[in-house]
Structure 1
Amino acid sequence: MTLQRQVGFWIGGLAVLALALYVLRGILLPFVAGLALAYFLDPFVSRLERLRVPRVVGALAVIGTFVVVFIVLMLLIVPVLATQLTAFVARLPSYVVQLQALATEQNREWLQRVLGDRLPDVSRSVAELVTQSTGWIASFVQQSLWAGGATFIYLFGLAVITPVVAFYLLKDWTRMMDKVDSWLPLPHKETILGLMREMNIAMAGFVRGQATVCLVLMIYYGMALSGAGLNFGLLIGLGTGFLSFIPYVGSITGLMFAAGVAIVQFWPDWTMVFVILAIFGIGVFFESYVLYPNLVGESVGLHPVWLMFALFAFGALFGFAGLMLAVPLAASIGVLTRFAIRQYLASPLYTGVTRPEPLGGPARPER
């Protein structure tokens, strides 16, 4: 088979796979979540297997432990979060209005010099924009997230199917990987296996490492902000840690919400506002210099801008399942792109140097 036909074959296979994922995107989420959970928990099952625990038993023990811990956490945290989220959305317009009032009262002379007679119109426009935005957010949360029995049934199905899928994948993980390896084209098997190992390092470093970072930050910010007495501290803290899946985005977003709530809640006591800022300063330092270097490292090769683009692109194409697929696919595309660049830099297309002909001119075909 010529190189052109090989390239066409693989491009066609990828196109068919992408089309299948797009057509089936409505039912993908439980299976993608199960695959992600199995990939995340596979090191624990493999470690038990090295201790001579049968893989079926190890997979069942790991999945069972995860499900029990998850259910306990959900029963303890979800009611509190639901209450805080509903109250936060309801009070968000008043928070914004109070922040606007504090900003204009403290800087009225400066704003008057800059805006002149337009200050009342600008303030009114900002207030109307904020009211409309917060009203849209409130209706979205109440109607899209919490209302409707279909959502509950879908989440229930997700909670039931995902652990089952993860268990079967964990049980047969080694056998499936061996089977996939046996399907690889023999002339290029070592090259493909090398690329797959590089992809695994990138995905493991980011998915497992960054998920651990998010979990630690969720615990830290949730406990610290709640302990400081900040209104909706648990909600803001857990949201900050969860959004830290994209480096620094969670910290910046959480800081904005926490600082705004703290100013309205504690004004004019600046001491508590500085306490909230200090909590985020410690969190950013801990994330940047302790957690990220040790748990994620520099070998991942996922730039934050590329990661955000991948999340938006795959999310728009495949919904929530696309969000879960975005990171491994982005890491895989990054590995393949670096491989293609290495091949290009070593090719005559870049160097301009072709292979020298042997002495005596080109070889003549034998008769």
Structure 2
Amino acid sequence: MLKIVDNLVKRYFSDEEAVIFLLLLVSIIGVLFFLGNILAPVLIAIVLAFLLQGIVEKLKKLGVNHVLSVSFVFLSFLVGCVVFVGLMVPIVWEQSVRLINDVPRMLVELQNLLRELAEGDNPVISQSSINGVLNDLSSELTSVGQWLLSFSLSSIPSLFSVIIYAVLVPLVMFFLMKDQNKIMFWFTGWLPKERSMMRNIAHEMNSQIANYIRGKFIEMLVVGAVTYLVFVVFGLRYAELLALLVGLSVLIPYIGAAAVTIPVVLVAFYQFGLDDNQFLYVVVAYLVVQALDGNVLVPLLFSEAVNLHPLAIIVAVLFFGGIWGFWGIFFAIPLATLVKAILNAWPKESLPRLPKA
């Protein structure tokens, strides 16, 4: 046993850079685990600054001063956010309130449909299972009012968090973009001079994650816009809110698309009913958009940018989501890409074969 451990240490940890990188990685994971909620504005600012850095570099190649490039990109980003929030928040808020008020009636309609199935002679669905679903729906209906009250009260502290984020994130983001070289120079000063492994990891992460984040942003806009047009054409209620949810769902691979399908189908069922062909048209059109996103748009945008197996992506979403909640789900693919880059670049000392007995 000791010989096996000794061989593993010699093979994977004989390099000084690997040991230092492992200690650094463990320290970062520890900080994120214990202080992740506190440092969330900084982490968001890092992602946004990284996303906009490509535009800054393009402006600098055109001869624009660094400070002017950063200022122009930063102000353009802020103006875009203000315009988007000013236009979308009132509409989404009003539709969210209406949707929440309609949820009990939607559940009643679903309850009536299941009751009709229970009264008929259906060989596929058993009577006991339908009665169980009816009992569950009845208990859910009685708790909807209490949930809405608790939700409205619990949202009060989050308003203060939004204000704090709205101030801290842009401030930190600006200084990260403006003083990027100084920050990187200070940070690399703590690292060993010979760091080929870290450079390889940084190079792979920079190319893949930059393409991934920008690709996800474009995918979110395209899917949200196309879904909104589909919902408007068919006259579906809450078109803006549902399209926003569908657009945001692409940030969570596989699971997001499955989760957002539930409110879309429920709203279509409540508005049109199963007997109306309009319900079938809306559902089919929505599924076509999802199929085009997964089979056309995603390969077109990402190609080999993030070369991860779908099973690895699902495991990453479940694992990092279980550790860090929403932000773990949001950064699941970048974190999985980081793990892949580390495994590819980690130095391995070839061991001599043991003599045969």
TM-score, normalised to structure 2's length? 0.82
SS at match of 2:63: coil
Residue 286 of structure 1: CA displacement? 2.8
Q: Secondary structure at the match of 2:237?
A: coil
2:342 match: 336
Report whether the alignment pairs 1:19 with 2:34: no
| Equivalent-residue separation in structure 1 for 2:206 and 2:15 (angstroms) | 28
Paired residues in the alignment total: 343
Residues 212-261 of structure 1: CA distance to partner in whole angstroms, max 9, x if unpaired?
21122122223321342212222112111101112343333333322222
CA contact (8 A) 1:223 1:234 kept: no
Are 1:90 and 2:101 counterparts?
yes
Structure 1 gap ranges (5+): 357-367
The TM-score with structure 1 as length reference comes to 0.80
Kindly, what percent of the aligned residue pairs are identical?
Answer: 25
Q: Which position in structure 1 is the counterpart of 2:288?
A: 282
Counterpart in the other structure of 1:168: 175
Measured in 2, the distance between the counterparts of 1:182 and 1:120 equals 66
Provide the residue aligned with 2:6 in structure 1. Answer: none
Q: Would you say 1:126 and 2:107 are equivalent positions?
A: no
Partner deviation per Cα, 1:180-211 (whole Å, 9 max, x = no partner): 55655344x33331222112223123222122
CA contact under 8 A between 1:90 and 1:138: conserved in structure 2? no
Q: From 210, 213, 217, give the equivalent of 2:216.
A: 210
User: What's the CA shift for 1:135?
Assistant: 5.0
Aligned-pair distance for 1:79?
Answer: 1.6
What are the residue-to-residue correspondences of 1:316-327 with 2, within 5 Å?
Answer: 316-318=322-324, 321-327=327-333
Deviation at 1:158, TM superposition (A): 0.7
8 Å CA contact retained: 2:316, 2:333:
yes
Distance, in Å, in 2 between the alignment partners of 1:303 and 1:355 is 35
Task: Report the counterpart of residue 160 of structure 2 in structure 1.
Answer: 153
Unaligned stretches of 5+ residues in structure 2: 1-9
In structure 1, C-alpha distance between the alignment counterparts of 2:221 and 2:150, rounded to whole Å: 27
Q: CA deviation at 1:68?
A: 0.9
1:60 to 59, 64, 71: 71
Do 2:253 and 2:314's aligned partners in 1 also have CA atoms closer than 8 Å?
Answer: no
Distance 1:133-1:240 versus aligned 2 partners, 3 A rule: farther
> Highest CA radius of gyration, 1 or 2?
1
**Higher RCO (CA-CA < 8 Å; seq separation 6+):** 2
Distance 1:303 1:321, change over 3 A: same
- Supply the distance in 2 between the matched residues of 1:205 and 1:239 (Cα, whole angstroms): 23
> Relative to 1, partners in 2 of residues 1:142 and 1:175: Cα closer, same or farther, differing over 3 Å?
same
Cα displacement (A) at 1:269: 5.0
CA offset at residue 300 of structure 1?
A: 0.5
1:311 to 1:119, Cα distance in 2 relative to 1, 3 A = closer
C-alpha displacement of 1:53? 0.6
Read off the aligned partner of 1:195 and give its amino acid letter.
I
Determine the C-alpha separation between the residues in 1 that align with 2:76 and 2:291.
Answer: 32
